[in-house]
Structure 1
Amino acid sequence: MRKVFHGYYPPADEEIEKLWSHGILVPDTNVLKHLFRFMPKQRAEVLAAFSSFGERLWLPYQVGKEFQQGWRSADTSNRNSYQKLKADLEKKRNEVESLVLAFNRYEAWAPRSSMHQIGKFFDGLSQEVDTAMKGLPENPDNVFLAVTKLFEGRVGEKPKDIDVRIKEAERRKREKIPPGYMDDGPGDYLIWAEIKEKAKAAKAPILFVTDDNKEDWWLKHSGKTIGPRPELRHEFFGETGEPFYAYAPDRFLSLLADRNKTKVSPETIDGMKRAAQSVDSSSELDSNSELLRDFLAMAERLGIKDGELLHLATQLGLAWRTLRGNSASNTSPNKHYVIDLMERARNLMGSYVAADAAPSIVTTKDHEWTLFMDMANKIAAD
């Protein structure tokens, strides 16, 4: 039965040994992009792990193309995620401070009460984020060049029948044949076709490392990933005569560490797992992170500390949220608080807004003020 239904059984010990000792290692695109998210030590360990396969390391043309087109956005997205964390922390700080200020009691909090340390606590968290950001690649081009050097002479040529393969990808998508039917484009199938061709030509198995966790790559049951889809292993062996197996990147590093404990540290394995969990494969840079990026760039351009301006935008957004929720009148205290915040922002930025204007009909004078109001609106809507 195992011979007929090969793909449904875990690889036997001999197959596992063949995969690791003679197999060609093929990393997927996002696995390479994660290198821009690592600190130097972890990045060096992952590069060394790939390099340990020597001539058995190989990159499909499609993966190389996707990497070339997307590595800059991967680096930008990573940096924006740190900035977003700072913004979220600032938002929580204001929420907690507002909660404490709104709480009425007959006696003031004791001088040494933690209630007076909220700002200091969140400032410390923000400083830790800043420290972590200093460990990111100072020049992402160096990471790009390291990947280039690693795969020099180990990248597949562009398939001559690419148009035929794209049509086949479309057919398989219509008929829900894995892999790739859950993707918008033909990329996953093009990679699949290339690695089958490579295995057949080299007469070697393929060890595929990917953090694409969709069900067109993986067999899942009760929320647990069992392994690569049986159909994939069956198709691969039937067409090439060689085994195929896939691992999530953290699992691959963990197994490699078991085989050679000097290659990968537990910290790097954990870092890879967190990196894979943090990435939405459908988009490297969403509109919210673009807004934050533009906002911080604007603050820098105006010579304002980004934290100071972000603090004002957060306070204004939270005040708007409360105002809208309570359907307050124009004469409510919160309405005056909103107008005061806008005046403070105007003075800080050198922008103009009429002091008696309602928040919903404020007229903007320039791009900077529009960005400030967009950020406050975004915070109010979240």
Structure 2
Amino acid sequence: MKSVFREFFNNEKVNFNNLDESVLIVFDTNILLNIYRFSESTRNTFLEALDKVKENIWIPYQVGLEFHLHRRKVMVEMDTIKDLIINDVNNETETFLKAIKSSLDKYPIKSTDGTEVRKKILEKFNEEIRKVATSFNQNEIIELDNLINKNDDKMLELAELFEGKVGEPFSQEKIDEICKEGEVRYEEEIPPGYKDKTKKEMTRYNNLKFENKYGDLIAWKQVLEKAKSDKKRLVIFITGDVKPDWWYEIKGKKIGARAELKNEMLREAGSDLILMNINKFLKETSTKINLDLVETTNSEENNRISLRKKSGYRFKDYKKIQELLNALQMNSEDKSYNTKALEGIINDIKYQVDKIEYFLLNNDGSSINDFEEIKTLEDEFKYLKSKSIYLLGHINRNQVTEMNEEIRNKIRKLALEYSYLERRLQNLLSR
């Protein structure tokens, strides 16, 4: 049975400390472009990992071409994002304060003292919200922006590592043949690439041209050809793509490469295929991993779940902020209980932000125009941001007892992460 359905049985455990020449490690465009998005420490970790397995690495010509065509765009994006975020924070601050004033004006008290109270409330909001915005613009965003060394391109190091490890381009005749095949494959949703079928752009370079929607398929065909010609036993494909035209999923969890891809690799090249994301690659090849890339560890996850169980609250259970505030006050005699409840909520928000960041780190936006999860993330941002703003305002009004500066700073840190991630999210949506 295994000999007939080999694609369902191959072992996906890899010992990167003991690779032989029969193993080919391939990287897609997203992974290479992430070198401009990584913090300096993570970038160095990535380059060290590449150097460790340099005898086995290779990229298709298609990946190399896409990397060079898009790298300047990513560099400019990272160079300007700080100012864009600061501008967004300033605009959203004004919008929020106008909304507060509008809400207060609706309160049905027609008296001089009522007007005075509304004025004091608005002044308090103005003072606290502007304080947070100013701190963010002058401190937190600078701290985050400084994580990326924009003066150190690392392009030469990357080029040196892949010297002699880039495939040859296909002829125009071969590209046309693949694109024609792609029409049929995409119609029948045969992986990879069919999730890009709505792309309209064309690429013209080096006397070659192709529709961008077939970029993944062209790269895949080049990998197949390389594996076959070099008689590779195993192909490890490191990808930042998360779409279902590459990954087999069960209830949202990515299990591995689509069986169709494994089967095609076996049929065309006689090679086994393993699909791997950047997190797993770095974990397997590096002795130290920067936390800004790694998913929540089992220990962190267990602590978070434990804290939520102790507090008795889950952030997503509260559809209205007042329900949350009322819940926090239900046991006012137990001040530590209230603090733990809020800590649990903050940790739950942080967990959601971590998931979003993990998604963004593994996508450059070039292949997710029709990927429904992007819009879901946009809605989640709006929800989380509004709740964190209300929580911060609530804390600043001292309505939550025993609230310490550490909790306050946690929420401010969340505001920083929201703005940074939301800007990247908007960049994806605009492509």
Output the TM-score relative to the length of structure 1. 0.64
Question: Taking structure 1 as reference, are residues 131 and 91 closer, same or farther at Cα in structure 2, changes over 3 Å only?
Answer: same
Instruction: Map 1:294-309; keep pairs closer than 5 Å.
Output: none
Equivalence for 2:290: 265
CA contact (8 A) 2:249 2:255 kept: yes
Instruction: Tell me, yes or no, if the aligned pair for 2:192 and 2:261 is still in contact at 8 Å.
Output: yes
Q: 2:366 aligns with which of 281, 292, 308?
A: 281
After the TM superposition, which residues 304-343 of structure 1 pair with which residues of structure 2 at under 5 Å, given as runs? none
| Distance of aligned partners of 1:77 and 1:58 in 2 relative to their CA distance in 1, 3 Å threshold | same
After superposition, the Cα gap between the structure-2 partners of 1:283 and 1:241, relative to the gap in structure 1 and judged at 3 Å, is: closer
Q: In the alignment, which residue of structure 1 is the partner of 2:179? A: 166
SS at match of 2:254: strand
Correspondence list, 1:74-223, <5 A: 74-102=74-102, 103=104, 105=114, 106-107=116-117, 109=120, 116-127=127-138, 128-139=140-151, 142-160=153-171, 161-183=174-196, 184=199, 185-204=213-232, 205-223=234-252
Aligned residues: 277
Larger radius of gyration: 1
- Counterpart-to-counterpart distance in 1, 2:63 and 2:17: 21
Residues 17, 278 of structure 1: CA spacing in aligned structure 2 closer, same or farther, 3 A cutoff? Answer: closer
Matched, 1:248 2:261: no
How far apart are the structure 2 equivalents of 1:177 and 1:201? 24
Q: Letter of the aligned partner of 2:215 in structure 1?
A: G
TM-score (norm 2): 0.57
Q: 1:56 is matched by which residue type in structure 2?
A: N
Q: Give matches, 1:222-237, under 5 Å.
A: 222-237=251-266
Q: Report how far residue 189 of structure 1 moved.
A: 1.3
Give the share of equivalent positions with the same residue, in percent.
Answer: 29
User: SS state of the match for residue 267, structure 2?
Assistant: helix
Q: What letter is aligned with 1:165?
A: I
Q: Report how far residue 56 of structure 1 moved.
A: 0.5
User: What stretches of structure 2 of length at least 5 have no aligned partner?
Assistant: 106-113, 200-212, 296-353, 370-431
Q: Residue 26 of structure 2 contacts residue 236 of structure 2 at CA under 8 Å; is this kept in 1?
A: yes
- Per-residue CA distance 1:297-349 (angstroms, 9 max, x = gap): xxxxxxxxxxxxxxxxxxxxxxxxxxxxxxxxxxxxxxxxxxxxxxxxxxxxx
Are the structure 2 counterparts of residues 18 and 53 from structure 1 closer, same or farther at C-alpha, using a change threshold of 3 Å?
A: closer
Distance 1:138 1:214, change over 3 A: closer
Q: CA RMSD in A?
A: 3.0
Cα distance change, pair 19–224 in 1 and its aligned pair in 2 (3 A)? farther
Structure 1 runs not aligned, ≥5 long: 285-382
Q: Which amino acid aligns with 1:164?
A: E
In 1, are the aligned partners of 2:31 and 2:362 still within 8 Å (CA)?
no
| Contact 2:40–2:149 (Cα < 8 Å) also in 1 | yes
Cα distance per residue 1:265-301 (max 9 Å; x no partner): 33443598354256423489xxxxxxxxxxxxxxxxx
2:342 alignment partner in structure 1:
none
